[in-house]
A and B are shown apart, each in its own frame.
Chain A
């Protein structure tokens, strides 16, 4: 046996022309069913419909609209609140505060990261501050904020800044540090230095990481804001979504509470799936920096 295995088997050589045409199926359209099943949106829509039906059935069986309103009642409360302009008004109030906090947080993060990029002590400062404050839930600062800034937007913005600043600064800083030596040398080869080097080389090169920071910052900020508004939300007679939920709970308008929660979810989804997804498609996916 061993001898047989040790000798190679003689075979004739051959060369054959490769056909360039007529190779049968190279591309064939998928069936309609295959296409629908392949679409993530279709599958998820299906799941949402199933959940809505389950909700409706359970709520009817429970028959206790105070504890658990039906899906239909919630949708109706949602439409009514939109139609009379209360919900959009409250949502806009929340978003306005959020955008202010987010913007100030970004500016501070940019300053901190620039300082960290320029000097070693700056990098140490950033690393120390982020490792101290990043694990601290922003909402825990709310009592302190209330003492410093009083009831009102000032306190909200303060906790929002806290929830945005550290994640953005940390991710940007880590992203900068991970930029390849080759790209750095390319940038310096063109004579780029200082702010121009940061803006034109480091920022785009670290963009995947920066975007992650922006997304995490947004998610923290949104959750923090709603939570803070639940604790206190009125200032000058108006309040945001969190306050809307709280108010309606006190008046036992439970479908409206659900409608408020619904709005919080929808705004979160829109920002995460439309805005950030779009930015991602146009930048890092287009550039092949993330698959």
Chain B
């Protein structure tokens, strides 16, 4: 039995509306979103492009303030970015190009004040080894392939041992083979250390494979449509359909609704 404290959610998102002010418009990216992430969750946010997934993740990261609602990590309201929520982005340029792989991971540890000197280096190398990049520890990011860069970003995020790892479509820009491999590796890493991760994707198979809990968002502006469980195998549901088909149907229903309301 898990201890009672693990029943408390690590991250609580309550009624969060997020808006962008542009020159001409006020764009509502998400509308009154609620969800809770527990420790050791592989919590996936799934939704079509433009539904506000990245925006939500940025808000959890502390880069944006909700116009309505609130977000709490360990009961503390999130107000600014911090090393307890490490971001992994989709863009390959998230590594500091002027630092080697080792220095990139170390710099996260030292500049945030987590560790110093040798301790930081040891920790960095430990996680670089976990993502199988020991041989490339002294390479600069521009010498690495896209997949390797993402693995460094993941190593950097994990080395910080944050409360929660925030991943925004980290594999979306990779080729299919590399993506498959990285998904397997991420699951393997999770099996080793049981970190908490909030993972954003627009790919149904990826959500089904990686998540133990899937939050389904409606198209723009994102609203919570469903929260589903997954065991990573695309299980067959009571109605005979597999999970991914079920999700597909729900997203498809939105598309039809949208067409009929707009048309």
Considering only CB atoms and an 8 Å cut-off, how many residues of chain A contact the other chain? 21
A283 to B97, CA, bound (A): 10
Q: How far is B112's CA from A196's CA once the two chains are assembled, in angstroms?
A: 11
Query: Do the beta carbons of B111 and A200 come within 8 Å of each other?
Result: yes
Known: A182-B89, A182-B93, A185-B63. A190 touches B142 (CB 8 A): no
Among A191, A207, A286, contact of B83 (Cβ-Cβ < 8 Å): A191
A243 to B58, CA, bound (A): 61
Contacts of B108 in A (CB 8 A): 190
User: A84 to B148, alpha carbons, bound, how many Å?
Assistant: 60
Docked Cα-Cα span, A201 to B108, in Å, equals 12
CA distance A189 to B166 in the complex (A): 11
Is A204 close to B, CB under 8 A?
yes
A131 at the interface (CB under 8 A from B): no
Interface residues in A190-222 (C-beta closer than 8 Å to B): 190-192, 196, 200-201, 204-205, 207
Q: How far is the CB of A123 from chain B (nearest CB, A)?
A: 18
> Given A186-B87, A190-B111, is A204 in contact with B140 using a C-beta cutoff of 8 Å?
no
Q: A188 at interface (Cβ–Cβ under 8 A)?
A: yes
CA distance A283 to B86 in the complex (A): 28
B210 → chain A closest CB, angstroms: 22
Q: How far is the CA of A200 from the CA of B87 in the complex (A)?
A: 18
One of A185, A207, A287 near B140 (C-beta < 8 A): A287
Interchain CB contact (< 8 A) of B112 among A191, A205, A287, A289 = A191
Task: State how many angstroms separate the Cβ of A176 from the closest Cβ of chain B.
Answer: 15
Among B84-112, those with CB < 8 Å from A are 85-87, 89, 91, 93-94, 96-98, 107-108, 111-112
Report the Cα distance A183→B93, complex, angstroms. 7
A185 touching B87 by the CB < 8 A rule? Answer: yes
Complex contacts, B61 vs chain A, CB 8 Å: 185, 189
Complex Cα spacing A196 to B107, Å: 13
Which residue of chain B is the closest to A196 with respect to CB atoms? B111
Q: In the complex, what's the smallest C-beta–C-beta distance from A104 to chain B, in angstroms?
A: 27
Judge whether A180 is part of the interface by a CB distance below 8 angstroms.
Answer: yes
- For residue B68, give the distance in angstroms from its CB to the closest CB of chain A: 23
Contacting pair A288 B86 (CB below 8 A): no
Q: A189 with B98: in contact, given A288-B140, A288-B143 (CB under 8 Å)?
A: no
Q: Bound state CA distance, A288 and B85, in angstroms?
A: 29
B113 lies within 8 A of chain A by Cβ: yes
B94 touches A186 (CB 8 A): yes
State whether the Cβ of B221 lies closer than 8 Å to any Cβ in chain A: no
Instruction: Report A-chain residues with C-beta under 8 Å of the C-beta of B112.
Output: 190-191
Q: Do A191 and B81 touch (CB < 8 A)? A: yes
20 contacts between A and B (CB under 8 A): A185-B61, A185-B87, A186-B89, A186-B94, A188-B81, A189-B81, A189-B82, A189-B83, A190-B107, A190-B108, A196-B111, A200-B111, A205-B96, A205-B97, A205-B98, A286-B140, A288-B97, A288-B141, A288-B143, A289-B97
A185-B87, A191-B81, A288-B97 given. 19 additional CB < 8 A pairs? Answer: A183-B93, A185-B58, A185-B81, A185-B89, A186-B87, A188-B80, A188-B81, A189-B61, A189-B85, A191-B112, A192-B111, A200-B111, A205-B97, A205-B98, A283-B98, A286-B140, A287-B97, A288-B142, A289-B97
**Residues of B near any A CB (own CB < 8 A):** 58, 61, 63, 80-83, 85-87, 89, 91, 93-94, 96-98, 107-108, 111-113, 140-143
Sort A-B residue pairs by CB-CB distance and give the 9 closest, nearest first: A288-B142, A190-B112, A188-B81, A204-B98, A190-B111, A287-B98, A287-B97, A182-B91, A182-B94
